[in-house]
């Protein structure tokens, strides 16, 4: 069995090697290829990887000529994985470390549920008893995705394997036949909501998503995107949330727009009270770019 692990790097010098070494420490009866796709980083992260993994065929470095975003970089990695002959692809954030048996547990879950996508249990890296994601759910009307168990201490409530509505792109195990059927990530998103859209797409195709609680990993939350409270985050969430739900809500989209307007208005008022006008400006620009059909990378927010 062949497994390709795809890491996207953008100035991630502090994260890449611990993540890669945690993957290499995984044990099981599978052949692994780690593909690092670099989005034209300006730091020394790729030089360090070149020095660390020179001559190691297990690690492949791919260099893009510009910052094309999370979706396109993953898609480039997926194509490399297919050419290598992978049976499964694991999309993995580079600001993570995985337990030594995580991959084996995810593959076992995938075998129990053929042609399904699998997600692990994710803890905060700096508080390894506090859950960041135990799978995800989607609200019935406006299809708002949320992490199950977010910020809860792990007391065993989320130790049962289950079908879920949403899985974070932080770590996704995808069989190649699912990729062939559903395609790759939508490159219009650049950053944020590409995982939500992908989950919605799988559901429309009748492809299930499973949460595997025995598979454990640790996430340095916000490390790769400058944190949730940033203009970058505010811009892409404002724009991409609209795009994602327009693609999948159908007749319910006007109801979502009303909810969205209230949600973003409250956020903007709170940001103004806290003196964070840059977040308000980023949100308004995101909405304007959505209305103009401007997607992909936005100048000043990458």
- Helices then strands, counting H and E runs in the chain, come out as 9, 12
Nearest to 265 by CA among 238, 242, 293, 292: 238
Taken in order 163, 169, 172, 177, the sign of the CA dihedral is positive
Measured CA distances, 152 to 79, 133, 155, 157 (Å): 37, 9, 8, 10
Q: Indicate the SS3 state at residue 66.
A: coil
CA nearest neighbour of 257 among 270, 244, 269, 268: 244
Would you list the DSSP string of 246-288? HHH-GGGHHHHHHHHHHHHHHHHHHHHHTT-HHHHHHHHHHHH
- What DSSP state is assigned to residue 79? H
Q: What is the pLDDT of residues 171-217, one digit of tens each?
A: 999 999 999 999 999 999 999 999 999 999 999 999 999 999 999 99
Instruction: Please say if the pLDDT value at position 224 is more than 70.
Output: no
Distance of CA 23 to the CA centre of its chain: 17
Q: Which residues of 253-288 are buried (b: 16+ CB within 10 A; e: fewer)?
A: beebeeebeeebeebbeebeeeebeebbebbebbbe
The span from the first CA to the last CA of the chain, in angstroms, equals: 37
* In the predicted structure, residue 40 carries a pLDDT above the cut 90: yes
Element (H, E) at 170: none
How is residue 73 written in tokens? Answer: 């970089």
Per-residue confidence at 227, pLDDT binned at 50, 70, 90? low
Question: What does the pLDDT look like over 58-101, one tens digit per residue?
Answer: 999 999 999 999 999 999 999 999 999 999 999 999 999 999 99
């Amino acid at each position: 069995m062949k497994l390709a692990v795809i890491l996207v790097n953008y100035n991630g010098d502090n994260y890449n090697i611990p993540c890669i070494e945690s993957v290499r420490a995984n044990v099981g009866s599978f052949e692994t290829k780690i593909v690092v796709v670099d989005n034209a980083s300006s730091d020394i992260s790729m030089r360090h990887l070149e020095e660390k993994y020179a001559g190691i065929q297990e690690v492949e470095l791919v260099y893009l000529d510009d910052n094309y975003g999370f979706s396109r970089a993953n898609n480039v990695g997926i194509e490399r994985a297919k050419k290598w002959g992978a049976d499964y692809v694991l999309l993995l954030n580079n600001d993570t470390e995985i337990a030594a048996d995580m991959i084996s547990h995810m593959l076992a879950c995938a075998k129990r549920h053929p042609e399904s996508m699998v997600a692990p249990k994710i803890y905060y890296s700096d508080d390894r008893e506090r859950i960041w994601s135990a799978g995800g759910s989607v609200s019935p009307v406006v299809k708002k995705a949320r992490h199950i168990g977010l910020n809860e201490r792990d007391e065993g409530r989320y130790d049962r394997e289950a079908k879920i509505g949403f899985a974070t792109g932080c770590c996704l195990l995808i069989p190649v036949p699912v990729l062939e059927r559903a395609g790759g990530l939508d490159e219009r998103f650049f950053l944020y909501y590409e995982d939500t859209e992908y989950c919605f797409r799988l559901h429309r195709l009748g492809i299930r998503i499973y949460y595997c609680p025995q598979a454990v990993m640790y996430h340095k939350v916000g490390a790769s995107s400058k944190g949730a409270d940033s203009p970058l985050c505010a811009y892409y969430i404002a724009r991409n949330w609209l795009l994602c739900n327009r693609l999948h809500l159908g007749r319910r989209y006007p109801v979502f727009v009303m909810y969205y307007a209230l949600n973003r208005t409250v956020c903007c008022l709170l940001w103004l009270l806290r003196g964070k006008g840059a977040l308000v400006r980023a949100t308004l620009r995101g909405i304007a770019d959505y209305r103009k059909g401007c997607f992909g990378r936005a100048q000043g927010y990458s």
